[in-house]
Every structure is written in C-alpha cells, then in structure tokens.
C-alpha cells in the first residue's frame, strides 16, 4: 500500500468484481442497442476501461470534461463544460460513466443537458456513491459501491491531480493535506 494511504476502501479484487457485475447488468439492459459511453474526464479513465471489457454489446466511447464549483452552502453547484463531446448524441442511448457522485450537482446538470440534446435515453453508472454528501437530489442508475462521506483517492480519483494511478481506492492520511 502507498505510504500516503491510511486505509483501502475498495481493493483491486473488489473493483474487478464490481466491473464484472455491472458489466453484465449493462450487457443485459442494452441488448441489441449500441450505447455511447460518455466518460467524465479525468476520473472515469480506469473505471470506464475496465468496465467496458465486461460489456458484451457494441459500445462507442466519448468523453467530456466538466468542472464544478460548490460555493459555500449553494445547492445548485456551478457546472462548467471544459471539453464537450465530439459526436452528436441525438437518438442515442447514452450511459454516463463517473468515478464518484457526491453532492449530485455535476450529474444532475449533465444528465439534463444531454437529455436536452435529444438523446434517446440517458443513464449514469458510477463506481462510488457518497449519498451523505447530496445537496441536489440525484440517483445513479448503476452504483459500484456506496461509501461514507470520506475523501478518497486512487483508481481515477485524485488529490491535487495525484494518486489517480493507484490500482485501488483508499483514504488519504490527514498528514498529506497539511503538508
Ligand atoms: P458532485 O457534483 O457530485 O461531483 O459533488 C462529483 C465530483 O466531485 C469530485 N469528488 C471527489 N474527488 N475524491 C475525489 O478525488 C472524493 O472523495 C470526491 N468526492 C467528490 C469528483 O471530481 C467527482 O467527479
Ligand atoms: Mg470527477
């Protein structure tokens, strides 16, 4: 285990099991469809890659980069698009792939936006869900694991852009934040 990690919340083995389980659910739910997986950069990368290996139907990959600012007690969250899709999603089945849902602002904004582009359907798969952090009502369609309100890193998730390459998800040691 990395020296900056206090404890592991999701091991490599658990991640593998999650990808297999959700992958087969998605395979069944999207039978005879050709969904577009819309990954939210950069956190989606390891999860989208591993999950897609277990989806046994034609899928297209597309990416977006968005940033959220949660000012104080503001409930709306100001979500900005930094990089937009390079394809039309009109009449397509869209499956947004996210690393973690916390306040819910990002996904509630992005799902509404993609629906307004006349997608046939818009669903969300997230590796992690922190329901205790919700500010905006939002329910992901597929959830890898529900976790407590702790700040986690690894497997796509970062602290100051680092730790995304860890093969597991863990909680940082408090000493790392105070360096
Ligand atoms: P919402 O809008 O649901 O946004 O609050 C979710 C985004 O917030 C970031 N986030 C985290 N990033 N560890 C991280 O590395 C965490 O514990 C965490 N909680 C939320 C993340 O960018 C996610 O896409
Ligand atoms: Mg993110």
Residue 75 pLDDT: 43
Residue 10 has pLDDT above 60, yes or no: yes
Q: What is the DSSP string of 89-135?
A: -TT-EEEEEEEEESSSHHHHHHHHHHHTTT-SEEEEEEEEE-GGG-S
Amino acid 74: pLDDT: 42
* Burial classification of residue 90, based on how many CB atoms lie within 10 Å of its CB (0-12 exposed, 13-18 middle, 19 or more buried): exposed
pLDDT above 50 (res 163): yes
The pLDDT of residue 178: 80
Domains and CATH numbers, the chain: 12-152 (3.40.50.2020)
Ligand 1 centroid to Cα of residue 134, in Å, is: 11
Contact 75, 133 (CB under 8 A): no
Please compute the mean of the pLDDT values over residues 73-88 and round it to a whole number.
80
Q: Whose CA is nearest to atom 23 of ligand 1?
A: 100
Please give the Cα distance from 37 to 26 (Å, whole number). 11
Q: For residue 68, is pLDDT > 80?
A: no
Q: What is the pLDDT of residue 55?
A: 98
DSSP state of 53: T
pLDDT tens digits, one per residue of 16-62? 999 999 999 999 999 999 999 999 999 999 999 999 999 999 999 99
Q: How far is the C-alpha of 51 from the C-alpha of 47, rounded, in Å?
A: 6
* Mean confidence (pLDDT) of the chain: 94
The verdict on the CB of residue 121 being under 6 Å from ligand 1 is no
Dihedrals phi, psi of 102, to nearest 5 degrees: -120, -90
pLDDT top residue among 91 and 176: 91
State the catalytic residues. 102
Q: For the full predicted model, state whether its pTM sits above 0.90.
A: yes
Q: Which neighbouring-strand residues pair with 39?
A: 63, 97
Whether 97 lines ligand 1, by a CB cut-off of 6 Å, is no
* ipTM of model: 0.94
Strands 5-10 and 36-41: unpaired
Q: Whole-angstrom Cα distance, residue 8 to residue 95?
A: 28
Alpha carbon of 101 to ligand 1 centroid (Å): 6
């Amino acid at each position: 285990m990395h020296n900056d990690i206090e404890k592991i919340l999701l091991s490599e083995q658990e991640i593998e099991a999650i990808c297999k389980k959700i992958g087969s659910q998605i395979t069944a739910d999207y039978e005879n469809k050709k969904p577009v997986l819309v990954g939210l950069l950069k956190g989606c990368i390891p999860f989208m890659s591993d999950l897609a290996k277990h989806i046994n139907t034609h899928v297209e990959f597309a990416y977006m980069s968005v940033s959220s600012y949660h000012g104080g007690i503001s409930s709306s969250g100001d979500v900005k698009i930094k990089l937009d899709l390079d394809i039309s999603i009109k009449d397509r089945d869209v499956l947004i792939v996210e690393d973690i849902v916390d306040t819910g602002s990002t996904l509630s904004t992005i799902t509404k936006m993609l629906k307004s582009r006349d997608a046939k359907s818009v669903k969300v798969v997230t590796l992690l869900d922190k329901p205790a952090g919700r500010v905006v009502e939002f329910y992901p369609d597929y959830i890898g694991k529900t976790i407590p309100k702790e700040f986690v890193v690894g497997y796509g998730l970062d602290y100051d852009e680092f730790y995304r390459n860890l093969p597991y998800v863990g909680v940082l040691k408090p000493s790392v934040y105070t360096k």
